[in-house]
A and B are shown apart, each in its own frame.
Chain A
Amino acid sequence: MTVALAKAPVEAPSGTGPRRRRGPRIGLALAAVWLLVVALAVFVPHLLAPGDPLAGVPALKLQPPSAHHWWGTDEVGRDLYTRVVHGAGLTMSTAVLAVAMGVLLGSALGLLAGLAGGIVDVVVMRVVDVLFAVPGILLSLALITVLGAGTAAVAFAVSVGSIAGIARVLRSEVLKVRTSPYVEAAQVSGNRPLRLTLRHVLPNAVTPLLALAALELAAAILSVSALGFLGYGAQPPAPEWGAMVASGRDSLRTAWWLTTVPGLAIVATVLAANRVSLLGGRRLR
């Protein structure tokens, strides 16, 4: 317990403060810098890697990392650095699309369940329970078998994995906000149900959803890469991180960089996204 009684001014011991300040947050800074680089790679890949990710020089195949080819070359002589940079756009846009679809579908379900209540709530939430029960990647694979390969299909398949979590969070928030006095006041003011939902319920319920969506992004990057690795995402020769790891396996013994570099890119991006979204989540709470 704090003893803050003294004749001279005494600072309360920091141990009981709301949050103890530790040293500079190196991890967070690194994560932010990495995400910035990834963003550059997504929007202006030519700034980081002016070369063509698809053009290979067969004579220069499977070169180890060197001053000329920073991260070496692949089995048809394409520069790996250029391909990883250009691949960021495909992987990230698929992941973002997946999260966007997940948020849209999940919040529609959550809102429906939270507002309608009764039998609708029960049915929707049992469907969500089923979605939760099936492992996300298995669900995605099953969906892709039905939908066929391709970027949009992968995005949808991945989004289904995040629907359940988002629906649950939004439903609980909507239930909480819906019974709050200010929503009752808005109802007495004569707001129609649609306006009540859009103006008074939803804006006050989405905050935790934003934090969750940021977290889901990290998971989505991983899932998109996993599906790319299995060959369901962007088709060759388009550069995609997961697919690049997969194709590098063939020469794992001789050319380690082919799997290691895109693999590390995935790991770094997932960790960075996770770290930054955790911070956002804490802020929003």
Chain B
Amino acid sequence: MSPVLTVEGLAVRYGAVEAVRGVSFHVDPGETVAIVGESGSGKSTLAHAALGLLPAGATVTAGRVLLRDTDLAAADDRELRHLRGRTVALVPQDPGASLDPVMRVGPQVAEVLEIHGLARGRAAALRAREALARAGLQPEQVADRYPHELSGGMRQRVLIAAALAADPALIVADEPTSALDVTVQKQILDHLTALTAKSGTSLLFVTHDLAVAAERADRVLVMRAGELVESGHPAQVFDAPRHPYTRELAAAAPGLDGPTARAGSTTGAPLMVLEGIDKTYPSRGGRTVDRPAVDSLDLAVSRGRTLALVGESGSGKTTVGRLVLRLLDPDTGRILFDGADVTSARGSRLRALRRRVQLVQQNPFTALNPRLTVEALIADPLHAHRIGSSADRRRRAAELVEVVRLPADTLHRRAAELSGGQRQRVAIARAIALDPELIVLDEPVSALDVSVQARILDLLRGLQRERDIGYLFITHDLAVAREIAHDVAVMRAGRLVERGPAATVLSEPRDPYTRALLDAVPDPRRHRPVTTPAHP
């Protein structure tokens, strides 16, 4: 049987930038192919080319894309519309932005069928419900709801239902789970692979996560700077990479094998202690009973050590970070810092605390004031505490830029001119400007590419060694926690379910929830049973 998708020597450019350079590959019927690469590698451009959906401004300079036997270049708009949804369907990246907010979910799925004239009216609605059921949702509960009433995972399932509705031969999934929690990611991916296996649909799957790709795909293609640098069976790509870049990616991908990065050392004196903390956000309207965001929590962070606070979205872990920073006040309980009660510190006492406790936030794109230069950003805490003359502060900023290993010429640039990794380094420089004793790191690497992630974690470990800083490291990613934490605390629905040395918690979890989290981490060595596509 001929391939569903054939890409031959494809080259795409945006103005002067070559996004894809001479890429060839094919997807056989029933096969799952993963394209792996970091941001800017051209992987999304490739996926969009397969749909004939290149954005305006993109130019195909060479090569061609064949969908079954149709050359997408030769097809006109009508033919393309006919192909999309029916022969090839897309599961987009962001489930929040990809559904029509003012249309009920059922009709949105039925729309695909009506557009292609496969069913209309009641028949279409019925088939839409079937598609929702196949995507693992309960149609009677979901079909009449609006997208905002569903969780992120449910919305992603709706998008999968819409993609599957017309039984396409090929599904293109562009980072389908990168916005979701690990356990939800696992469910969605399990479901997607099971569905495609059952119906013989091919899956072209774009991801930045080599581990996810290796775990799920029959074949992995690695892209870098617009070129296909390696392709092959996942076991081979991950365990015996041929190209140096793949080797780097495989090494950077945090996994759950081997010893934990950091053995639990002697326990230092606790630096920050939370005792019996409760926090409930008042809800508006008050129809539902308020569920506490944090429920009688005890936690301690020691000097020079990292406590990873792990949990899924909504578990209350970010609230804990904000309580520690005194951006929120607890309803009950005490917060002790270095032995002193700071639960209700205000004014100068609070400012004194802020010299010693700092923050690095999740999204480096919104964490830096866009109007200020890097120098002003890094010197801002010094300025706020009136430390040194302006010449001193400039000198200090220059030193700090070196400490976080940024080139010296970044000092006079603004955040918008820097990459995500560079911005996060600026945020780290700002956090250590005051020589704090504790830094709250709220998902500091979750918005970064894996190789950048590994370098940032490396920097953080180095800083901790040199400066004896305590880290409260908030993350949803157990593999990342394993790379940096001495101790791990697992949160669920506002409560701690398990805590202890990283090695113990991550290798012999006692709580079933911790075990579920661990199982959900993609494991590149747990390849799914290889379903070699039948070649008659």
A204 contacts B64, C-beta separation under 8 Å: no
Classify chain A's interface size.
20 to 34
Which of A45-53, A54-62, A88-96, A185-193 forms contacts with chain B?
A185-193
Q: A72 → chain B, closest Cβ, in Å?
A: 53
When chains A and B are docked, how far (Å) is the Cα of A2 from the Cα of B361?
A: 38
A185 contacts B367, C-beta separation under 8 Å: yes
Q: Which chain B residue lies CB-closest to A187? A: B327
A5 contacts B54, C-beta separation under 8 Å: yes
A-B contact count (CB 8 A): 112
A5 contacts B52, C-beta separation under 8 Å: yes
The listed residue (A3, A187, A189) touching B430 by CB distance below 8 A is A189
Q: Which residues of chain B from 67 to 99 have a CB within 8 Å of any chain A CB?
A: 72-73, 75-77, 80-81
When chains A and B are docked, how far (Å) is the Cα of A180 from the Cα of B49?
A: 36
When chains A and B are docked, how far (Å) is the Cα of A3 from the Cα of B323?
A: 52
Q: Indicate if A1 sits at the interface (CB-CB under 8 A).
A: yes
Give chain B residues whose Cβ lies under 8 Å from the Cβ of A16: 56
Query: Known contacts being A180-B366, A188-B325, is A6 close to B73, with CB within 8 Å?
Result: yes
A182 contacts B354, C-beta separation under 8 Å: no
When chains A and B are docked, how far (Å) is the Cα of A191 from the Cα of B381?
A: 7
B65 contacts A185, C-beta separation under 8 Å: no
A1 contacts B57, C-beta separation under 8 Å: no
Give chain B residues whose Cβ lies under 8 Å from the Cβ of A18: 56
A3 contacts B55, C-beta separation under 8 Å: no
The listed residue (B54, B62, B354) touching A7 by CB distance below 8 A is B62
Which of B229-237, B302-310, B368-376, B485-493 forms contacts with chain A?
B368-376
When chains A and B are docked, how far (Å) is the Cα of A215 from the Cα of B73?
A: 47
When chains A and B are docked, how far (Å) is the Cα of A184 from the Cα of B73?
A: 50
SS class of chain A's interface: helix, strand, loop or mixed? loop
B60 contacts A184, C-beta separation under 8 Å: no
B56 contacts A12, C-beta separation under 8 Å: yes
Give chain B residues whose Cβ lies under 8 Å from the Cβ of A190: 351, 354-355, 381, 384-385, 434
Q: Indicate if A237 sits at the interface (CB-CB under 8 A).
A: no
Q: Indicate if A13 sits at the interface (CB-CB under 8 A).
A: yes
A9 contacts B61, C-beta separation under 8 Å: yes
Query: Known contacts being A3-B77, A11-B59, is A181 close to B363, with CB within 8 Å?
Result: yes
Q: Of residues A184, A187, A190, which shows the largest number of chain B Cβ atoms within 10 Å of its Cβ?
A: A190
Q: Which residues of chain B from 370 to 401 have a CB within 8 Å of any chain A CB?
A: 370-371, 380-381, 383-385
Give chain A residues whose Cβ lies under 8 Å from the Cβ of B252: none
Q: Which residues of chain A from 7 to 53 have a CB within 8 Å of any chain B CB?
A: 7, 9-13, 16-18
Q: Of residues B77, B354, B380, which shows the largest number of chain A Cβ atoms within 10 Å of its Cβ?
A: B380
When chains A and B are docked, how far (Å) is the Cα of A11 from the Cα of B15?
A: 10
Q: B346 → chain A, closest Cβ, in Å?
A: 12
Q: Indicate if A195 sits at the interface (CB-CB under 8 A).
A: yes
Give chain B residues whose Cβ lies under 8 Å from the Cβ of A195: 383-384
Query: Known contacts being A12-B56, A190-B384, is A5 close to B359, with CB within 8 Å?
Result: no
When chains A and B are docked, how far (Å) is the Cα of A2 from the Cα of B59?
A: 11
When chains A and B are docked, how far (Å) is the Cα of A7 from the Cα of B73?
A: 7
The listed residue (A3, A181, A192, A199) touching B76 by CB distance below 8 A is A3
* Contact code string A192-230 (vs B, CB < 8 Å = 1, else 0): 100100011001100000000000000000000000000
Q: A204 → chain B, closest Cβ, in Å?
A: 6
Query: Known contacts being A6-B73, A181-B363, A182-B366, is A188 close to B56, with CB within 8 Å?
Result: no
B49 contacts A5, C-beta separation under 8 Å: yes
Q: Indicate if B505 sits at the interface (CB-CB under 8 A).
A: no
Q: Which chain B residue lies CB-closest to A180? A: B366
Give chain B residues whose Cβ lies under 8 Å from the Cβ of A191: 380, 384
Give chain A residues whose Cβ lies under 8 Å from the Cβ of B76: 3
A4 contacts B369, C-beta separation under 8 Å: no
Q: Which residues of chain A from 149 to 193 have a CB within 8 Å of any chain B CB?
A: 180-192
B366 contacts A181, C-beta separation under 8 Å: yes
A17 contacts B57, C-beta separation under 8 Å: yes
Q: Indicate if B118 sits at the interface (CB-CB under 8 A).
A: no
B366 contacts A10, C-beta separation under 8 Å: no
Q: Which chain A residue lies CB-closest to B326? A: A188
B367 contacts A182, C-beta separation under 8 Å: yes
When chains A and B are docked, how far (Å) is the Cα of A18 from the Cα of B52?
A: 19
Q: Indicate if B53 sits at the interface (CB-CB under 8 A).
A: yes
Give chain A residues whose Cβ lies under 8 Å from the Cβ of B56: 2, 4, 12-13, 16-18
Q: Which residues of chain B from 319 to 368 have a CB within 8 Å of any chain A CB?
A: 325, 327, 351, 354-355, 357-359, 361-363, 366-368
B371 contacts A9, C-beta separation under 8 Å: no
Q: Which chain B residue lies CB-closest to A189? A: B381
Q: Indicate if B58 sits at the interface (CB-CB under 8 A).
A: yes
B60 contacts A5, C-beta separation under 8 Å: yes
Q: A15 → chain B, closest Cβ, in Å?
A: 9
Q: Indicate if B27 sits at the interface (CB-CB under 8 A).
A: no
Q: Indicate if B427 sits at the interface (CB-CB under 8 A).
A: yes
The listed residue (A9, A17, A192, A203) touching B384 by CB distance below 8 A is A192
When chains A and B are docked, how far (Å) is the Cα of A186 from the Cα of B60?
A: 45
B369 contacts A200, C-beta separation under 8 Å: yes
Q: A195 → chain B, closest Cβ, in Å?
A: 6
Q: Which chain A residue lies CB-closest to B442? A: A181
Give chain A residues whose Cβ lies under 8 Å from the Cβ of B381: 189-190
When chains A and B are docked, how far (Å) is the Cα of A200 from the Cα of B367?
A: 12
A5 contacts B64, C-beta separation under 8 Å: yes
Q: A122 → chain B, closest Cβ, in Å?
A: 15
* Contact code string A228-272 (vs B, CB < 8 Å = 1, else 0): 000000000000000000000000000000000000000000000
Q: Which chain A residue lies CB-closest to B376? A: A199
When chains A and B are docked, how far (Å) is the Cα of A203 from the Cα of B383?
A: 17
A12 contacts B385, C-beta separation under 8 Å: no
The listed residue (B55, B354, B355, B434) touching A2 by CB distance below 8 A is B55
Give chain B residues whose Cβ lies under 8 Å from the Cβ of A180: 366
What are the nearest 9 A-B pairs in CB distance?
A189-B381, A5-B73, A190-B354, A191-B384, A12-B56, A16-B56, A188-B359, A190-B384, A4-B54
Chain B positions within 8 Å of A, measured between CB atoms, are 49, 52-62, 64-65, 72-73, 75-77, 80-81, 325, 327, 351, 354-355, 357-359, 361-363, 366-371, 380-381, 383-385, 427, 430, 433-434
Task: Provide a sorted-by-A list of 29 A–B residue pairs whose CB atoms are within 8 angstroms.
Answer: A1-B80, A1-B81, A3-B76, A3-B80, A4-B58, A5-B49, A6-B73, A7-B60, A10-B60, A12-B57, A17-B56, A17-B57, A18-B56, A181-B361, A181-B362, A181-B366, A182-B367, A182-B369, A182-B370, A184-B327, A185-B361, A186-B369, A188-B358, A189-B354, A189-B380, A190-B354, A190-B355, A192-B384, A203-B371
Q: A188-B354, A190-B354 are in contact. List 18 more A-B contacts (CB 8 A).
A: A1-B81, A3-B52, A3-B76, A4-B54, A4-B58, A5-B54, A7-B62, A7-B64, A7-B73, A12-B59, A17-B57, A18-B56, A181-B363, A182-B370, A183-B369, A185-B367, A189-B381, A189-B434
